[in-house]
Every structure is written in C-alpha cells, then in structure tokens.
C-alpha cells in the first residue's frame, strides 16, 4: 500500500479550469451530478481519492484531460 502522505501531493486544477471556462462550482455540480461539497473538497486539494465516474464526468463537462485536471507535485 502506498504511503498515505502521497495523497497530498496531488493538486487539482479545477479552480483554474472553471475560471477559464466561466463555469461556477454550482453549475458544474448540476452538470456532473456530484455535490458542491464534494467538488469543493476536490477543488481545495482536500480529496484523498476520486472515483473514475467523477473524474470522467468532470473531464467531459470541462472538456479536458485527466492530466489537465490533476497534477502530481514533486515529492
């Protein structure tokens, strides 16, 4: 099992992607069917895991790739 601390190295660029596309978190929540609370957790890098279904829905809604949404910071 990988170390738990490594989860904190994943940075979510949801904020930048939303701003660039002029979409609010509430609107994205309606589009992907994920609660605003959970999207906020993801946006603020407090998420420790993400479902493939959530990832796919966000990438579809924002028309981006997984690499554009998530970045792994150097350890």
Partner 1 sequence: MVGSPIAIALTAALLLAVVAIPVLLIIIAMRGGRHMPKIVALVSYAVMVVVCGASVVAAITLLSGAAVEVTVPITPVEPYLPAGVTLEPATSATIHSGGMDQATLVVSGLPLATRLVMLAALLIAAATAIAVCVVVIRLARSVMSGNPFAVGTAALIATGWILLIGGVSASLVGQIGDVMACYDLFEYTGGTAPESWNPAGGFAGPGWPQPAGFNLTIPWWPLGGALVLALIAGVFRYGEQLQRDSEGLV
Contact set with partner 1 (CB under 8 A):
7, 34, 38-39, 41-42, 46-51, 54
Distance CA 62, CA 28 (A): 8
3-state secondary structure of 72: strand
Nearest CB to partner 1, comparing residues 8 and 67 = 8
CB 39, min distance to partner 1, A: 7
**CA distances from residue 59 to 14, 17, 55 in whole angstroms, order as listed:** 10, 10, 6
CB 70, min distance to partner 1, A: 12
CA 12 to chain centre: 5
Nearest CB to partner 1, comparing residues 31 and 54 = 54
CB 41, min distance to partner 1, A: 6
């Amino acid at each position: 099992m990988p170390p738990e601390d490594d989860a904190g190295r994943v940075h979510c660029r949801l904020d930048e992607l939303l701003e660039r596309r002029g979409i609010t978190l509430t609107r994205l929540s309606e589009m992907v069917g994920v609660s605003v609370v959970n999207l906020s957790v993801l946006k603020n890098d407090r998420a420790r895991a993400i479902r493939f279904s959530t990832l796919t829905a966000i990438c579809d809604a924002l028309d981006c790739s997984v690499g554009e949404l998530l970045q792994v910071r150097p350890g």
